Amino acid sequence: METLTVIKAGTGVLTRASDGTLDGASLVRLVTAIAGLVESGHRCLLVSSGAVGAGVSAFGLGGYPSDLTTKQACAAVGQARLMHTYGSLFQNFNLAVAQVLLTAADLQTPERRQYVSDTLHRLLAEPNIVPIINENDSVAVEELRVGDNDMLSSQVAALLGAKTLVLLTSVDGLLSPETNELVEDVPDVNAVLGFAKDERGRFSIGGMASKLQAVKNSVDAGITVHIAHGRKPERLAAILAGEKGVSTRFAANAQ
């Protein structure tokens, strides 16, 4: 199998900030970029947020639900909407999608972890299938949660031995608190943990602090990580080609 890249797209990338509904134009750009990577020989796995946000409008809510039951119900509606959209868009590039919903126990219990690994490796062996992973928000209560999809993507990347993890967010990457300019390379993630402003949108869960913790786990596992702008997914090819100025790159620690 070709070298694997795990791409994580956050809720802020996939839904409209105004009402949390799916942003069709943003999804078209993301799918087009991933399809281009697959066409050029990359194996890609997508960890996609957006299920709860995508389901919010069906319940007439003005923001992210605070109670667990409504949150899980929104996820049940939204996950179906999300996968229907992905399936239709990837079909335009003759690519099929596979849905894999996970809880923490699926990655922590050795037997179940092996089943997940086997299934994902089998899917990735097929060049025309793009696996799409999300946390199983409809059933995952606190003790079953991975945490958020930044952490989920980090754990999946480590499980599959991915070379690269790209965390797509609503900014160009990690910004310096002094200059507000993009930090292009970070040789030691511990040195920038204090840079994070843990800002979240109404329909999202994680923030930059969460991303940096996921980055730390990944680089410690020998995975190179990029934080990049999810509204500009056409940069993905340049990121994987090693171009500067299009992301913040965190170097993998030697194994």
Sequence ranges of the binding site = 8, 49, 137, 149
Please state, in angstroms and rounded to a whole number, the distance separating the CA atoms of residues 13 and 16: 8
Residue indicated by tokens 């229907």: 84
Q: Where are the alpha helices (DSSP H) in 143-198?
A: 149-160
Annotated binding-site positions for substrate: 49, 137, 149
Phi-psi label, residue 183: left if phi above 0, alpha if psi -120 to 50, beta otherwise: beta
Q: Which residues contact 241 (CB under 8 A, 6 or more apart)?
A: none
Q: Which residues are annotated as a binding site for ATP?
A: 8
Other residues' Cβ atoms within 10 Å of the Cβ of residue 199? 12
| Residue 61 in tokens | 């809510």
Inter-residue contact 45 to 124 (CB < 8 Å): yes
**E strand intervals along the chain:** 4-9, 43-48, 96-102, 129-135, 164-169, 185-186, 224-229, 248-250
Q: What does the alpha-carbon distance between residue 9 and residue 232 come to, in Å, rounded to a whole number?
A: 12
Nearest to 20 by CA among 67, 56, 68: 56
Hey, how many other C-beta atoms are within 10 angstroms of the C-beta on 158? 18
Within 10 angstroms of residue 72's Cβ, the number of other Cβ atoms is 18
* Residue 47: both structure tokens together: 């960890």
- Cβ–Cβ under 8 Å, residues 140 and 103: yes
